[in-house]
Amino acid sequence: MSANGSPSGAWDLLRRNAAFRALWLSRITLFIGDALGTIALVLYVVGAEGSGVTVALLFLAVDFAPSLLSPLSGALSDRVDRKRLMVGCDLAQGAIITSIALVDMPIVPLLALVAVRSTLGSLFQPASRSSVPDLVRERDLETANAVIGFGTHGFDLIGPLLGAALLPLIGVRGMLFVDAATFLVSALLLLGLPKLAPVGLDGDRVPFLREAGDGLRFLWQLPSLRILTIGFCAVVALNGVDDIALVFLAQDVLEGIDSQTSLLYGGAGVGLLIGFLLLARFATRFPAVAMIGAGFLISSLGNAITGLSVTIWMAFAMQAVRGLGISLIEVSVQTFVQRTVPKGMQGRAFANLFGAVGLSAGLSYAVGGPLIDLAGPRFALAAGGFAGAVVAVAVARTLSRVIRPTTEAIPGQAADATARPGGADWNPDEAG
């Protein structure tokens, strides 16, 4: 920790805080494994079935099932010791990936196992995010979230390159075994964390399903969290089409070759790296609400101007701008929830918020494909991006009015829990 009670620098935080360093290394290890495992699973499915529909089903198993179960995942992460939960999730996921690597199986049980593994991963995430405030000082939250983002999202670029290098040497099954090994390494790293016991809001625990329901009610009844969720989902629903549109923009409109198309998809990753690097140093200087609005606005405008680009390089630069905005969103949203939501509710808040965002991404894919066929990738990107910019301004203005001055912690000072909307003593039976 730094002197004078000021926020710690990124390197200082990693060097002095062994528990946070263990969580950071665990997240990086898992990101490497996820990158390798995703490549291996896609190749495995293509080799077994050779069907685009089957690949689509694979991604639905990865993304859609965990989003539907997010209320239960969040409730469990708030109910049990998060250290044991994360270690257990890692070991279970490693066992599932090992079984896929060892046993040739039909596509249906394979997809079922992938869905279970992804659900365990979605259970890990809220437990991990809600653990950060227990490992670092309140004034270091922005820096800690930026450091985790830089370490993990950096492997959006490195992971695929590592996979390309390993695949000719060890093959698809070997990649799956490496993925399984990363879960074991992560579990061993997490043993260095202190006990992360659950925090009760009202003393006695209520039934599990009621806790899950309370998490959904809390997401809606806390005004600031409701506005954030609606705005975040709207921005993702409007902009998620870029995953589909970029290939058509690059090849059909800008007449790029395959390598240039791949480069275009890497633009956001470059922006993410730059953004997290800057935020690790400067994030504590800005309130989270301002960064949320800026992140939504910059990422949306990046997509909008990508749609208007006249060259591949201009589109690449605008996607890097989009990545910069996404880094702002990642750090500010996590910091906002960690400061605003009572500790005993944070697992549910994170799970339900990002679960809703995942469903919004699925909606964007479902609508975006036909829209691109009908109006072209330029229109889909530009229209969605400019609409997302309007949403960003509305979210920033509405959040600023809802949040009382004492709610947003001043950098370097602890937040006053009693000034939070909903308060640390939020009672689901009395909220209305």
Q: What is the pLDDT of residues 188-215, one digit of tens each?
A: 999 999 998 887 644 566 788 888 898 8
Question: Higher pLDDT residue, 338 or 62?
Answer: 338
User: Does the pLDDT of residue 431 top 50, yes or no?
Assistant: no
Nearest one of 334, 69, 342, 339 to 212, comparing CA atoms: 69
Question: Higher pLDDT residue, 364 or 182?
Answer: 182
Give the tokens for residue 385. 């991006």
In this structure, what is the dihedral angle of CA atoms 305, 310, 313, 315, given to the nearest 10 degrees?
30
Specify the CATH architecture of the domain 209-406: Up-down Bundle (1.20)
Q: In 283-376, which ranges are continuous DSSP H helix?
A: 288-307, 312-340, 346-375
**Whole-number pLDDT of residue 117:** 92
Could you tell me the pLDDT band of residue 256, with boundaries at 50, 70 and 90?
low
User: Does the pLDDT of residue 417 top 60, yes or no?
Assistant: no
- List CB contacts of 89: < 8 A, sequence separation 6 or more: 120, 121, 123, 124, 127
Across 263-275, average pLDDT: 82
**Whole-number pLDDT of residue 396:** 93
Asked whether the beta carbons of 63 and 361 are under 8 A apart, the reply is yes
Could you tell me the pLDDT band of residue 262, with boundaries at 50, 70 and 90?
low
Asked whether the beta carbons of 425 and 201 are under 8 A apart, the reply is yes
Entry pTM: 0.79
Question: Higher pLDDT residue, 226 or 158?
Answer: 226
Q: For the chain, how long is the longest CA-to-CA vector?
A: 63
- List CB contacts of 102: < 8 A, sequence separation 6 or more: none
CA 199 – CA 74 distance, rounded (Å): 13
User: Does the pLDDT of residue 347 top 50, yes or no?
Assistant: yes
Highest mean pLDDT of the ranges 160-169, 180-189, 202-211, 366-375: 180-189
Average pLDDT, the chain: 82
The one-letter amino acid code at 157 reads L
**Whole-number pLDDT of residue 428:** 39
Q: In 103-207, which ranges are continuous DSSP H helix?
A: 107-135, 141-153, 155-190
**Burial class of residue 138, CB neighbours in 10 A (0-12, 13-18, 19+):** middle
User: Does the pLDDT of residue 164 top 60, yes or no?
Assistant: yes
DSSP state of 250: I
Across 243-263, average pLDDT: 73
Give the tokens for residue 8. 């710690």
Across 331-343, average pLDDT: 91
Question: Higher pLDDT residue, 404 or 301?
Answer: 301
CA 273 – CA 255 distance, rounded (Å): 28
Domain residue spans of the chain? 1-196, 209-406
CA 311 – CA 317 distance, rounded (Å): 10
**Whole-number pLDDT of residue 97:** 94
Asked whether the beta carbons of 141 and 291 are under 8 A apart, the reply is no
User: Does the pLDDT of residue 186 top 80, yes or no?
Assistant: yes
Could you tell me the pLDDT band of residue 166, with boundaries at 50, 70 and 90?
confident
Question: Higher pLDDT residue, 367 or 159?
Answer: 367
User: In this predicted structure, which of 42-46, 111-115, 413-417 has the lowest mean pLDDT?
Assistant: 413-417
User: Does the pLDDT of residue 22 top 80, yes or no?
Assistant: yes
User: In this predicted structure, which of 45-49, 70-74, 82-86, 405-409 has the lowest mean pLDDT?
Assistant: 405-409
Report the Cα–Cα distance between both ends of the chain, in Å, rounded.
41
CA 203 – CA 271 distance, rounded (Å): 45
The rounded percent of the chain whose pLDDT value lies above 70 is: 84
Q: For residue 127, give Cα distances in angstroms to 37, 58, 92, 250, 383.
A: 22, 25, 16, 39, 36
**Whole-number pLDDT of residue 429:** 40
C-alpha 382 chain-centroid distance: 24
CA 56 – CA 321 distance, rounded (Å): 28
User: In this predicted structure, which of 149-153, 197-201, 223-227 has the lowest mean pLDDT?
Assistant: 197-201
User: Does the pLDDT of residue 73 top 70, yes or no?
Assistant: yes
Could you tell me the pLDDT band of residue 242, with boundaries at 50, 70 and 90?
confident
φ, ψ of residue 220 to 5 degrees: the values are: -90, -35
**Whole-number pLDDT of residue 418:** 32
**Whole-number pLDDT of residue 234:** 96
CA 88 – CA 120 distance, rounded (Å): 9
User: In this predicted structure, which of 82-96, 258-272, 290-304, 387-401 has the lowest mean pLDDT?
Assistant: 258-272
Q: At what angle do helices 155-190 and 18-48 cross, to 10 degrees?
A: 120
**Whole-number pLDDT of residue 160:** 64
Across 295-307, average pLDDT: 95
CATH class, domain 1-196, is mainly alpha
Asked whether the beta carbons of 131 and 196 are under 8 A apart, the reply is yes
Across 285-306, average pLDDT: 93
Asked whether the beta carbons of 252 and 303 are under 8 A apart, the reply is no
